[in-house]
């Protein structure tokens, strides 16, 4: 499968809200396979959202601690318990930043064939799913940082 270039933080496509998938067809299956190959080739290798490769549709792939898969048109139910941990993004390679997220999520969506999927995740995988679904909404993880921290992060992510 094709490994695709990952868009960086300054690419406007990452600020667009992705469209729901309507057709569970061969093109969608190709996209999921390409996203998976691209994620595995990347530095972080925990998750990737379709907008990060320039595809404005609601598809994410994930792989962490033996759990891997994909979600089409995901919706998240977040726990109230929150934890702070370092987070990174393939669109800002090499940068890790502390961020507070829900400790547990239940993600509901569909697989590439249109069948319902539910993923319950704790800790890092919960963080990965939240991060990737944010990409579908045009939200970068730096948007969750306080203003001063966001400025420091962006100065490191977008030198020049």
Over the stretch 96-151, which tens digit does the pLDDT of each residue have? 899 999 999 999 999 999 999 999 999 999 999 999 999 999 999 889 999 998 88
Compute the mean pLDDT over every residue in the chain, rounded to the nearest whole number. 93
Q: Contact 124/47 with Cβ under 8 angstroms?
A: no
Residue 83: inside a domain, yes or no? Answer: yes
Residue 7: inside a domain, yes or no? Answer: no
Residue 2: inside a domain, yes or no? Answer: no
How many C-beta atoms lie closer than 10 Å to residue 117's C-beta?
16
Res 43 pLDDT > 70 = no
Token code pair at residue 52? 């990060």
Enumerate long-range contacts of 36-44, CB under 8 Å, 24 or more apart. Answer: 36/1, 36/61, 36/63, 36/68, 36/70, 37/1, 37/2, 37/3, 38/2, 38/3, 38/4, 38/6, 39/63, 39/90, 41/3, 42/6, 42/90, 42/93, 43/90, 43/93, 43/94, 44/88, 44/89, 44/90
Q: Any catalytic annotation for residue 80?
A: no
Instruction: State residue 44's pLDDT score.
Output: 63
Residue 33: inside a domain, yes or no? Answer: yes
Question: Do the annotations mark residue 5 as ligand-binding?
Answer: no
The domain that contains 44 carries what CATH number?
A: 3.90.45.10
Out of 55, 77, 100, 132, the active site residue is: 132
Residue 34: inside a domain, yes or no? Answer: yes
Residue 78: inside a domain, yes or no? Answer: yes
Token code pair at residue 151? 């400025």
Query: Which domain covers residue 108, as residue numbers?
Result: 12-157
Residue 132: inside a domain, yes or no? Answer: yes
- DSSP character for 10? T
Question: Do the annotations mark residue 70 as ligand-binding?
Answer: no
Question: Do the annotations mark residue 144 as ligand-binding?
Answer: no
Percent of the chain beyond pLDDT 70? 98
Residue 30: inside a domain, yes or no? Answer: yes
How many domains are there within the chain? 1
């Amino acid at each position: 499968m094709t490994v695709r270039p990952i868009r960086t933080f300054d690419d406007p496509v990452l600020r667009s809200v992705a469209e729901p998938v309507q057709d569970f067809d061969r093109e969608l299956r190709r996209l999921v396979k390409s996203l998976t190959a691209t994620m595995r080739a990347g530095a972080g290798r925990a998750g990737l959202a379709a907008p990060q490769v320039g595809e404005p549709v609601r598809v994410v792939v994930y792989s962490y601690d033996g759990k891997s898969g994909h979600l089409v048109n995901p919706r998240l139910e977040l726990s109230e318990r929150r934890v702070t941990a370092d987070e990174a993004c393939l669109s800002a390679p090499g940068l890790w930043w502390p961020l507070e997220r829900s400790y547990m999520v239940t993600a509901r969506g569909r697989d590439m064939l249109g069948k319902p999927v539910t993923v319950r995740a704790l800790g890092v995988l919960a963080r990965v799913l939240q991060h990737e679904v944010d990409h579908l909404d045009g939200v970068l993880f730096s948007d969750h940082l306080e203003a001063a921290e966001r400025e420091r992060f962006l100065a490191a992510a977008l030198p020049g």
